[in-house]
Structure 1
Amino acid sequence: MADNQSAEWRAVCEKFRLAHELSEIESKKDPENNPFRSKYKARDLLKEIHCSLKKNQIEEEGEFDNGADNVSESSQTVDAGEPGNGYGKAYAGDSPAGLRVARLAVVQYHLGVNHIETEELSAGEEHLMTCMKLIDKCTTTRENVSLFIQARNQLGILWAGRDEIEKAQGFLEIAESMYLLYMKEDGQPPLDLQDFFVPEGEELSQQEKTRRFEMAYTHTLYYLAQVYKNLQQYERAGQYCHSTLQRQLEYKHFVPLEWAINAATLSQYYITKTRYMEARHCLAAASVIATLAGEIPSEAAAKESEAEFEKREELLQKRAEIARCWIKYCLNLLQDAKKLLEDNVGELDSDRQEELKRARRNEEEEKEKGRKSAILFGSSDTFDSICSLEEKVSSMLPLDFEEARGIFLVGQGYVAQAKEYFEMDGHVTDHIEILQDHSALFKVLAFFEEDLERRCKMHKRRVDMLEPICKDLNAQYYLLICRQLQFELAETYYEMMDLKLAVADKQDQPDVHTIKKFNLLCSSSTKYYQMFLDSVRSPEGKFPQKLEDDLLRPVLVAKFRVARLQSKLISSNPASQLENLSLSLESYKFVVQYCEENPEAKNAVETELELSVEMASLLPLKINRIKSTMASSN
């Protein structure tokens, strides 16, 4: 079999080709009741190849010293460590015996993968460990470096699937170091596993060898990204994920929608780290690459063909998911700017604003140029489109209303896009989450608006989009969402009340219309806070003696604000004043009493508790004065 032109060798190569075709192509057509039919046929062919190699080995050289079949010993003695021989020595494959060992190792590798794919993990591990033992007797050269890396990749996946993350990490990090060292010391296109079983003259091209080798390393980086994520090493996981995506584009080895979703998901990690330039680049690339999946079939075409219907659904859904990631980008960019610019009472600090504007003029442009070169995605045919999309939205924190409005409008555009797929009918939770994000965009934009009346109108837009949903939603099935909407509507009316109060304070004497509007806002806010508080009661109507952790602050804040709202109601009728103040006092006392009985609650509502204690002592005086006035007038 040493003769690569012999009929016997050509028969072996043909079996290897058929095994590959069965495993990679025919297996996709296997019936549901026999899903591994082609995999089993491929396995039989691989075993025949293995027997031919062993027979030839025995005939030409006698029994091989340590035997490739000593699986149990292999499993015990091989680990994720470095191979012992290193670089710079002669490759065992330079001899016929060494070449046979390498071929045996390749067959063992494919048998290992075959068993894993047919859910026979222990057998798969044994074959892979046998492969490892065989190749660990050789140096890492261009003849076997690809096999070294791919075997360790597979073992890394195997152990990660068993939740042995650190063991997986060991195999994968060695695979990574092998690649880096090989590229440093040699760098030529290495043999692919397929090259061990092709007739002379039919080897892969140098370009194809390079592509396959680089993709094996890309898989190493991809699996390491998952490992580091599981180990909660999120910074490293993000770096490896980014590198994986870059390499997939570079070597044109990706599925457009899958790549796009992975890039969009990575953007959300960058957002948590306030790395908005990187997040924007990921999202722009995701949007552009998603278009490579093709045009969205029309509704008419989708009705006529199941395949077209499925394609339409997938494209619409994935693009809507990317749009949602864009919404989060815009929202978080605005919210982080708000945190940076607000003073201790939550208003825009103009001195801080000017200071940041001066600093940005001096630093930001150079900073962006330096960072951008390291993160770029794309090739010549997509790069311009990605850059063009990036230019439509800033990656810098907005420092005034015009800058904030530009980001808001981009976010609002993606809200409309996301809602096209995530409609209320069929996607209740997703649709409402998108509406809540839209509401949050208006809320943070209002922070940058100096005109109080225009601010109030922005909050009114929030009410208009959330109130109908809140009224129609069944609390029995969507309790958590109902509570969120009730609390947000209460807060929104509360903010509008404060704005109207600020406007009224500028007037000498509020007119009847202003007073009526103010009271209506107070009542609306109180109504929704009360709906939220009532949702916490038991079916018998009893309020819990001890609040759950996730409800503690919201409930006490709601009680505090109800108290304030009731005390703010404007009335010329002393009896109504007395009733409002009495109800207010009752709510303040609730906050104080609950914190006295549950001291651990004090940290959750420090400011509200301090004011509640103060008001609980002051309101009785005010109530008594009104009572005295009423008594004397009678």
Structure 2
Amino acid sequence: MQRKKPSRRSILKMTFNQLRECLDKIASLIDEVGPENDPYKPKYEAARCLETLLKQLEENEHEYTLDLQAVLYALRGKIAAETDEPTAAIDFLFVAIVYLVARFQNTDIVKSLDIHSLFSGTPSFLSSEPPLKADKRISQLWASFADSYNDYLKLANILHPETHLAACTHEKLMANLKDSDTPPHSELDPTDPAAAYATNLVDGLGSMDLDAIVEPAAQPDAVFITETADTVIEADELKHANPPKFGMEETLLKLSCFGECTDIGAPTLTTTVLTQLLPFYVLALNYLGVIWANRENRKLAINILKNAESAMGIFDYDDPFLIKEPLKDSEEKELHIHMLYLPDRAHPFFQQGHADKLSFLLPVCSSKMISSLNTYTIYFLAQVYGEDSPCQSAEYCGMTISRQYKQRCLNPDFDPQDFIINCLTLQKYYTTNNIFKPSFTLINVAEEVLLEYGPKERAQYIKDLPNNENMPEEDVVYLQSRAKQRMESIAVTRSVLSLDTAREVLAQIRTERARLYSQILSDTYQRRELLLEARREQMKIQYTSSEDLSNNDKELAHKQIKSICQLHSDECVSSVKELYDLLLASDLETTLATAAKKQLRKLGLSAKENVNVDNEHDEEDAIPKLQSLFLAEPLVRTLFYDSYRQFIAASRYFVLDGFVTDHCQILLDISALHQIYAYYEESRLDLLINNTTSEASETVSYTPLIKLHTRRCTTLEKVIPELSLDHYSKLIASLQLEVAEARTTIYHIVSRDITCNSRLKRLTEDMEYAAQLQLKQVDSLSDKDSVLIGTAAAHCSRAIEAWRAVCKTYEADSRARLLQEYHFKRKEFSQDEVMKFLTFDDRDSMQTCIFETAKLLSQLPTCDPVIKRGLLVDSLRCFEQVQKLWLDNENLHKKETSLKLIGTTIDLLREKIGRVANVIADYHLDSVDIKA
């Protein structure tokens, strides 16, 4: 006799109003902010109310309120995740997912939560083949269960050596018994927990009435789902098995059965109920993904979040059963629509004659809430992808930012500061990869949002405008007019940022804009040099390949080629307006999607979304123009000085007292900017020398170049003494490294005058000739030449001191850690102990510092053979120290090649020391009192 299906509302033991009151109380508790000493107090109270309600539903209405229980379990898991109870959250959320999938009975939904896509890895504990020969259906169910069970054991980190050994034994037995018709029970080791568990479970599955499970139901009935779940639970008799069973595994086993049911044609759910349940399904998956990401299982987290994204893909945003307009009470005040909002007679659906299509036991969500859930899914995917796949992370970050930007005015919870930080973070990725259009657009969007949500009195935090006498007047006028136009055209939407927050955000925007300009300068310079070098090589082959040319003619031809082979005006961007026209994008979403697609295509990956074909072509047409053009000299000056202005303005907020790391990083950025600009200046000066006669070339001075690098040094050297070595040793080392590199560059610039002077070059390299000078056997040096050698030697000495200062910082940091290691019981440590206690990165940098010191010691210009011998001996000692560091470190890259090169260098240096010693002995310089 067929059981009569009662009405869901008539079954409820509590009235509808009681249910509404209970859910309203839970909703208000979830939203309530707890006290500072117990911030989770309201959430714990909400959890207790939820558990009480769930207990009532399980006891009285289990068969007819499965979907409502799923909603409540999802919210219970959400609370557990937010109160730092991830293990409990996993159990609640997976139960919710099972109930939701069961209630949906929708093939698309089930496919979006494919059990095999949630977990990955080779089974370790249970064989994918059942221990007993069974029919196809039992084998399929067993295989699904075994995959889920084994993978969960791995994910839960409960692998024990004994269990693993037993599992391996069981796996071998399964392989041997695969083709055997003899029942394997007697051959299995009874002490093998995995084998015993497998045998008993298959026996239980064999007793199941699979026909009852796979028989399609006539109507979507909760009884059908409940009976299916009960059948699985009855077959699962081993509650205390070893290895232990877990809530997640039980849930997955149920989910396998539900998947079997839906695959063979179980009825689907109505559109309206799908609309009401889908948000909780996505909510549960979102929290599961975050939990597993926090547990460092990124692969599983990505699979789960991808399932949430797939589920949202089947959702109809134009569904008529969504609340599109905010509900209002009798006084026309907007009602807060929570995830637990229940429909009533005031709902507009009833006025439209849709009363029969709503479930009064399920919440109704607004379209804004659905969109917000999807945005969170995409945001979480971006975060999880971030570490291992930055390109895919950038794609999802761009999608999140585009959604938030479009909906910012409609979303009362929009956080402008968080949005701006996300924009600046994403633009860093594109700037680093030399993709400047999306980077420039993101900075502009961040600036726009700051103006919309910042203080109304903008003059309080935006004070300076572009202005510099070294910049072309045309560029200054354009930058000033554009800044004024943006402030006038962008109105304040909602002033939610405080004055101090606005200043901080503006400083961050200025810093990133300056870094973008600096990267544009760097990328353009590198591309320009590569192009010019290729053109020069072609011209050399064309004009100097003749054997009739003498070496002098070839050298002259090479010089003329270098001066002639320059960029044409049509290859250069001449003004900042022209550059901005190339960088500005009208549509943020299309720009980000196109940039992400190009990057993914480079890496051989597929993009998430299809970009509009017309827009994609428009965007990609602009990219080759930008990537094939170069910067004219006036524009280089504009970008340099405007970047410098932006950095200085940012450093006024990020002062050293309070923002040590930020302030020092800006100083390092300023140093890098000066270094890039120095490359352009050096090329310009070299071109002047090549284009002039030998007499005129002597008037070309490299003083501007030296000033640029000197400014790098003085700026950083002022800050270093202000920092505590105990707290900022790494930061101090970074600053000192920058100073050492700048000092070395200055020395190489100054030493050019010695290299170009044949006599001075011979004096500093040929010690026999230098000895003759000491003994006044050759003409003495002029005062100008003496000053030149002394200046170069002084700069070289300062560079050596700078490199040695970095080494001392690394050694001090290593000694500090040694003291902590020995609990301050030992005070003195040998040099070998200090070197061995360096971190890998510090040891690598230390080698570089000692190597640079060794090179400078061997190059330091002097006309005294005795001093030269001492310098070479010191240089040899440094090279031998580098060699020892290489020998002591087993993990360094290209170790054999580097050791071979250093060994060769040491051999040559010893020969050179021998030759200098012979000169000293031959000319009896040791006994002669000569002023150096």
Question: Judging changes above 3 Å, is the alpha-carbon distance between structure 1 residues 558 and 619 closer, same or farther for their aligned structure 2 residues?
Answer: farther
1:80 aligned residue: none
Q: Indicate which of 127, 141, 150 corresponds to 2:271.
A: 141
Counterpart mapping for 1:149-548 below 5 A: 149-162=279-292, 163=295, 164-183=297-316, 187-191=318-322, 197-203=342-348, 209-229=366-386, 232-252=388-408, 253=411, 254-295=414-455, 311-342=498-529, 351=536, 374-375=590-591, 399=631, 401-450=633-682, 451=685, 452-506=702-756, 510-537=784-811, 540=829, 542=831
Assess if the C-alpha contact under 8 Å between 2:440 and 2:583 holds in 1. Answer: no
1:493/1:348 CA distance change after superposition, 3 Å: farther
Separation of aligned partners in 1, 2:19 and 2:501:
43
Give the structure with the larger helix fraction. Answer: 1
Q: Kindly provide the CA deviation profile for residues 152-200 of structure 1, in whole angstroms up to 9, marking residues without a partner as x.
A: 33233234314354444344323322332334xx843543686961222
- Give the Å deviation of 1:396: 8.3
Instruction: Please state if 1:561 is matched with 2:852.
Output: yes
Quote the residue 1:550 is aligned against. 841
Instruction: Indicate how the Cα distance of structure 1 residues 460 and 214 shifts in structure 2: closer, same or farther if over 3 A, else same.
Output: same
Shift in Å, 1:121:
2.3
Cα displacement (A) at 1:523:
1.2
State the Cα deviation string for residues 503-559 of structure 1 (Å, max 9, x = none): 444457753443332222011111112223344556556256767642445334433
Q: 1:614 to 1:335 in 2, by over 3 A?
A: farther
Structure 1 residue 228 displacement after superposition: 2.7
**1:258 deviation in Å?**
0.6
Question: Does the 8 Å contact 1:529/1:558 carry over to 2?
Answer: yes
CA distance in 2, matches of 1:596, 1:41: 63
Q: Hey, what's the Cα distance between the residues in 1 that align with 2:51 and 2:886? A: 74
Indicate conservation of the 8 Å contact 1:522/1:569, yes or no: yes
Give the 3 Å change call, closer, same or farther, for CA 167–324 of structure 1 in structure 2. Answer: same
- 2:825 paired residue number: none
Q: Which of residues 597, 622, 631 in structure 1 aligns to 2:916?
A: 622
Deviations 1:467-499 (A, max 9, x none): 122344343433323333333222211110110
Task: Give the Cα–Cα distance (whole angstroms) in 2 for the partners of residues 342 and 51 of structure 1.
Answer: 74
- Rounded to whole Å, the distance in 2 between the matches of 1:593 and 1:210 is 67
Cα-to-partner distance string for 1:307-350 (whole Å, 9 max, x where unaligned) = x9x94554444443444433443344344444445579xx9888
Match of 1:113 among 78, 82, 93: 78
- Alpha-carbon distance, 1:358 to partner: 7.3
Q: Distance in 1 between matches of 2:633 and 2:901?
A: 30
> Counterpart in 2 of 1:125?
93
Letter in 2 for 1:477: H
Q: Any unmatched runs of 5+ in structure 1?
A: 70-100, 302-307, 378-393
Aligned to 2:554: none
The secondary structure found in structure 2 opposite 1:182 is coil
Q: Which amino acid aligns with 2:831?
A: K
Distance between the aligned counterparts of 1:174 and 1:429, measured in 2?
40
Q: Does the 8 A contact of 2:416 with 2:450 survive in 1?
A: yes
**Which deviates more from structure 2 when the two are superposed, residues 110-119 or residues 425-434?**
110-119
Amino acid at match of 1:526: I
SS of the residue 1:424 aligns to: coil
Q: Tell me, what secondary structure is at the counterpart of 1:139? A: coil
Residues 850 and 882, structure 2, Cα contact 8 Å, conserved in 1: yes
Q: CA deviation at 1:598?
A: 6.9
Q: Give the distance between the partners of 1:596 and 1:19, measured in 2 at CA.
A: 66
Deviates more, 1:215-224 or 1:115-124: 115-124
Aligned CA-pair RMSD = 4.6
What does residue 39 of structure 2 align with?
A: 35
Q: Match of 2:315, SS?
A: helix
**Alpha carbons 2:90, 2:288 under 8 Å: kept:** no
Q: Distance in 1 between matches of 2:406 and 2:631?
A: 37
* CA distance in 2: counterparts of 1:594 and 1:105, whole angstroms: 62
Separation in 2, partners of 1:245, 1:263: 7
Q: Which moved more, 1:136-145 or 1:45-54?
A: 45-54
| 1:629 maps to amino acid | Y
State the AA in 1 paired with 2:798.
S
Check 1:295–1:624 CA distance in 2 against 1; reply closer, same or farther (3 A cut): farther
Q: CA contact under 8 A between 1:143 and 1:190: conserved in structure 2?
A: no
What code does the residue aligned with 1:113 have?
A: K
Q: Which residue of 2 aligns with 1:576?
A: 867
Cα gap change, 1:171 to 1:525, in 2 (>3 Å): closer
8 Å Cα contact 2:850-2:879 kept in structure 1: yes
1:411 Cα deviation from its structure 2 partner: 2.9
CA drift at 1:465? 0.3
Q: Does the aligned pair in 2 maintain the 1:582–1:623 contact within 8 Å? A: no
Q: C-alpha distance in 1, partners of 2:884/2:898?
A: 15
Structure 1 or 2, whichever has the larger Rg, is 2
Deviation of 1:20 after TM superposition, in Å, equals 2.7
Shift in Å, 1:246: 0.6
User: What SS is found at the alignment partner of 2:314?
Assistant: helix
CA displacement at 1:42 relative to structure 2: 4.7
Contact 1:336 1:397 in 2 (8 A): no
**Structure 1 residues 401 and 461: CA distance shift in structure 2, 3 A:** farther
SS in 2 for 1:188: coil
When residues 373 and 524 of structure 1 are mapped into structure 2, their CA distance, relative to the original with a 3 A threshold, is: same
Cα distance between partner residues in 2 of 1:426 and 1:143:
55
Residues 135 and 148 of structure 1 are in contact (CA less than 8 Å); yes or no, is this contact kept in structure 2? Answer: no
TM-score by length of structure 2 reads 0.52
Tell me by how many angstroms 1:563 deviates: 3.4
CA displacement at 1:34 relative to structure 2: 4.4
Specify whether residues 145 and 410 from structure 1 end up closer, same or farther in structure 2 by C-alpha distance, changes over 3 A only. farther
> Following the alignment from structure 1 to structure 2, what is the Cα–Cα distance between the partners of residues 563 and 41?
69
Q: 1:242 to 1:492 in 2, by over 3 A?
A: same
- Output the CA distance in 1 between the equivalents of 2:94 and 2:727: 50
Q: What stretches of structure 2 of length at least 5 have no aligned partner?
A: 1-7, 106-267, 324-337, 353-364, 462-494, 538-564, 574-578, 594-625, 686-701, 761-783, 816-827
Q: Is the 8 A contact 1:112 1:127 kept in 2?
A: no
Identity %: 21
Deviation per residue, 1:560-599 (Å, 9 max, x gap): 4333433444445454344334434444454466657879
Q: How far apart, in 2, do the equivalents of 1:481 and 1:194 lie? A: 48
Equivalent residues of 1:423, 1:431 under 8 A apart: yes
Distance 2:678 2:420 in 1: 33
Question: Structure 1 residues 474 and 105, CA, compared in 2 at 3 Å: closer, same or farther?
Answer: closer
Distance change in 2, residues 1:227/1:148 (3 Å)? farther
- Whether contact under 8 Å (2:23, 2:340) holds in the other structure is no
